[in-house]
Every structure is written in C-alpha cells, then in structure tokens.
Amino acid sequence: MNLRLPLAALAALFSFDAGAAEHLSVTASHALDIARPAETISVPWARINDALPQARSQQLVIKDGAGRSLAYQVTNVDATAKDPKMIGAAYGELLFQYDFKAGEKSATFTIEKAGATVPPFPPKTYARFVQERLDDFAWENDKLAHRAYGPALRAPAAPGSGKEVLVTSGLDIWFKRVPYPIVDRWYNTGHDHYHEDQGEGIDMYNVGPTRGAGGTGIWDGKTLHVGANYREWKILANGPIRTVFELHYDAWDANGAKVTEVKRFTVDAGRYFDRIDSTFTFSGPATLDAAVGLHKNPSDKGQEVKVDFAQNKADGSLVQWVTQRSFGDFGVAVILPSTTTFAADARNGLVTAPVTSGKPLRYYVGAAWTRGSPFATQALWQKHVADEALRLRSPVSVRLAAGR
C-alpha cells in the first residue's frame, strides 16, 4: 500500500491510541472480493516509535492472526540523517506482506519488540548497477527481472573493439522460472548464457531503440520524442520486500521543448507489476503529453508469430499478448490510471496522459511468461491485469491501536 500522502491524509488513514504499549495492533482492510496476494502493508515508523518507544528496526516481531511470524523491512529514507536519541529518526516505513484470500477483506497483525536481534530475511527484491556489463542497471523480484541501459552502452565503439552500441531509454524484461534472485548469477555466467533457458528462465525480450516494456517519451500527436540511455542511478531501498531506485535521464528535444526525466521505480515482492513515477521537467508549455510504450514486436529472433493488443480506457491499461514459436508465450501490460488515451507509432503501442513540469506521472508495468507464471493463456493474463487495476483503485487501509 502506498503511503506517500499529505499529512492530513495520513491522519485520516491511521487511527492510533497514544502511549507506551507492549504491542501495536495493525488491522488492514479493503473492499474487494478478489484475492490480493502479496499485499504490502505499510506503517510509518513514527507510529511504531510512538507505541513502542526505542523500538529498533532489527529487533521486531510481526505476527499474523494465526501467530505466524512475518518477514519485514524498515526503509531508511535519509541515509545522512542523525539519530542520537535512537528513535529511528531516519526511518520511513515498516513494510510487511500478507496474502488476502478471495473474500477476505480484513486481517489483523501484532508488532512487538523482539528483545534480541532478528536475522536478516531472504531478499525477494534486489537492484544494482552492473558496471561490468556496459553500465546496465538491473532489478528483480521473485517473479521477474528487468534492466535499463546506461551510458557505457551508448558510447561509440573504438575501431576494432567490437563493443556493443545501443542508444535507447527502453526497458528490458528477463523472464524467470524460479523465485530466487538470478541477476548476479546470470551476469556472472556471461551474456550468451541467459539467452538460453537453462532452467531458471531466459532473456528473450527484444528492446532495441523502442520503448521496450514501459519506456517513456513525449507525444506531439504525430511523433514520439524520446531520450537516450539513463545517465545516473540512485538506490533508495533494497529489499527484502521492497526495492526503490531512481534513474535520471539527460535532456532531449521534444518538438522544441527541452525535457529531462527522473524515473522512480518501486518493486515489491510477489508482484508481476512494478510502480514507476516519472517526473518530467520542462519549460514553455503548461503541459505536455507523456507516452508510455510497449514494443510492437518484442519476440526474440525467429520466434515471431503473433502479437495482440487490447486497450481498456476504464482501467487505463494497454495489454499485450505475444505468441512465439517455441519459447513459450508472454504477456506485457501498462496501467496508467490517470486521464488516459491511446496512440501508436511504427514501433510502439502507446498510452498517453498530460503531464505538468515537476509533477510525477504514476504508471505500472507488468509482464508474465507462460513457463514461469500461473498465466498460461491470454485470457488469464488479461484477467490478472484487470484485477491489478482493481487493486490500484481500491488500496488497503490501515488502522493502528496500541495494546498491553
């Protein structure tokens, strides 16, 4: 659940009985009948410290209603902040996850001091800068992996060097069969190996100079104006439940307007969709039309058979299903919940929405492979995208109460 809200909204969302307590009770509820697996529950750390003074991020126990201990994560929103009183002044949120079954609309959890250090939880999300592979930036959760392309890949090749050159701000997908992390392992085995499915998955998505799976640009009604490879990166949180990072892009010309972009990615465990907040900065026009794209022909070489697109204006979704010859089929989707229209150029299907300089555009990008997910058919993938859009329109609410 996202809690990047104004203070007034947070006050309305959280109910809390002040005073020191032995535990903090957290009740999470929602209004949907569908199952909501891997729902991320978020509690501001300040509320933890109010109820459990001097609580430490590495010494907590979180239990569900059945008494099972849950993995958790505490985000550090400002690594330079000082905390002389040991009250978690630099912490942002306490995160944990719960699988709501179909029809289950409420669940209650308890948070207590552990009294001893809790060992780290196995990471389910991860991101890193991959300098050894031409400045790739790669990220993953237990469902999918992705990468974006950096400045070293963009740089011209010296004569005779054989260096690969690719100029693109498109986003790549690596399809996984396994829940454990594979990014480091695949890079360590060499670029050619992960183009074959050796039991863990495969890099078979074709990006090239297109938008790939969720790259952006500025649409002027006829032409898509795009930037180049990312310039800088910054990791803000890195698992085990949520990874947050930013990619910064140099200015490009969008039909006379100079545009820069910062993308903030929020990657949660157990989910087939990542959240992306793209902030475009420009001068001149009051608004521009941003576009989020999906490559029209993303199959690996020799695998091309058929690509279907479905547009759903009510959900703000563009849903793609790719049928391949022998590597299995896959689905990709963009959900853009704001004012949405659809467009296309020669290479990309597009979802567009107006943006104001300095204000983020929030959208979601997801994918799934028939050999590494429960979505074995186009219909199942389309239903999952529709369910995800429902979840976004109906976020989980959280109520807190201190107990003794």
Segment 368-403, tens digit of pLDDT? 999 999 999 999 999 999 999 999 999 999 999 987
DSSP, collapsed to helix, strand or coil, labels residue 359 as coil
- Among 190-199, 221-230, 235-244, 355-364, which is the least confidently predicted range? 190-199
Segment 383-392, tens digit of pLDDT? 999 999 999 9
Determine the Cα angle at 313 with ends 391 and 355, to 5°: 85
Q: Is the pLDDT of residue 9 over 50?
A: no
What mean pLDDT value characterizes the chain? 93
Domains of the chain, CATH where assigned: 7-119+399-403 (2.60.40.1180), 126-373 (2.70.98)
What one-letter code names the amino acid at 225? H
Residue 95 CB contacts under 8 Å (≥ 6 apart), including other chains: 40, 41, 42, 72, 73, 74, 75, 241, 242
pLDDT at 171: 98
pLDDT at 297: 97
pLDDT at 5: 39
Q: What pLDDT band is residue 189 in, cutting at 50, 70 and 90? A: confident
pLDDT at 20: 59
The Cα–Cα gap between 268 and 242 comes to 5
Tokens 């060992």 locate to 119
In this prediction, residues 270-294 reach a mean pLDDT of 97
Q: What pLDDT band is residue 340 in, cutting at 50, 70 and 90? A: confident
